[in-house]
């Protein structure tokens, strides 16, 4: 079944999106579980203020925010501040038709495996035996 280069490229891109879907769902689930969207206003926020508001480890939250920016949930400014996009606003609890509950319910893993790495930060590796959280792997890509 011969394929031209364009068709192979389109197929590879489609498969990449399918394979990344689980990671993206985990990113969105984690953001929803943390209530991250509710801490954004009209102005861009820095990682430190968002980490304080969500009681999370700033470097870990920074990696999550960069990954969320890569999929369009937040927008990262040139000075590493973040704004909620219209897509991300669907995770706000005060948004009419909010998808937050759906995002929180959409992952069947134990809650500690999703949120705890962001609360523990660098101590995550110690607790989980040196296995790097998937969000950190995705953020480096």
What percent of the chain has a predicted confidence (pLDDT) above 90? Answer: 57
106: how many CB neighbours lie within 10 A of its CB? 13
What local confidence, expressed as pLDDT, does residue 4 receive? 85
Check residue 82 and give left, alpha or beta (phi > 0: left; psi -120 to 50: alpha): beta
What local confidence, expressed as pLDDT, does residue 3 receive? 72
How does DSSP assign 48-108, residue by residue?
A: HHHHHHHT--HHHHHHHHHHHHHTTSEEE-TTSEEEE-HHHHTT-TTSTT--HHHHHHT--
User: Nearest to residue 27, comparing CAs of 122, 115, 120, 141?
Assistant: 115
Q: Could you tell me which residue, 74 or 2, shows the higher pLDDT?
A: 74
Q: How many residues does the chain have?
A: 141
| pTM (2 d.p.) | 0.71
**Cα–Cα distance, 10 to 17 (Å, whole number):** 11
Tell me the pLDDT tens digit for each residue of 35-47.
Answer: 999 999 999 999 9
Number of domains forming the structure of the chain:
1
What local confidence, expressed as pLDDT, does residue 130 receive? 47
Cα-based torsion angle of the residue sequence 130, 46, 111, 120 in order, rounded to the nearest 10 degrees: 40
Tell me the pLDDT tens digit for each residue of 112-132.
Answer: 455 666 666 665 555 554 445
Tokens of 88: 């991300």
Domain containing 25 — which CATH number?
A: 1.10.10.10
What local confidence, expressed as pLDDT, does residue 105 receive? 86
Structural domain including 113 reads 5-139
76 phi/psi in degrees, rounded to 5: -95, 125
108, pLDDT greater than 70: no
Q: Could you tell me which residue, 124 or 50, shows the higher pLDDT?
A: 50
């Amino acid at each position: 079944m011969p394929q031209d280069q364009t068709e192979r490229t389109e197929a590879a891109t489609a498969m990449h999106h399918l394979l990344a879907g689980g990671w993206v769902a985990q990113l969105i689930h984690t953001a929803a579980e943390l209530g991250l969207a509710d801490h954004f206003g009209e102005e861009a926020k820095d990682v430190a203020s968002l980490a304080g508001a969500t009681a999370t480890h700033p470097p870990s939250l920074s990696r999550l925010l960069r990954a969320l920016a890569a999929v369009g949930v937040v927008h990262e400014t040139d000075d590493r501040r973040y704004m909620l996009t219209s897509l991300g606003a669907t995770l706000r609890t005060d948004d009419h038709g909010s998808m937050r509950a759906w995002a929180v319910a959409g992952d069947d893993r134990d809650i500690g495996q999703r949120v705890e790495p962001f609360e523990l930060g660098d101590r995550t590796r110690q607790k989980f035996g040196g296995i790097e959280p998937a969000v950190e792997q995705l953020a480096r890509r």
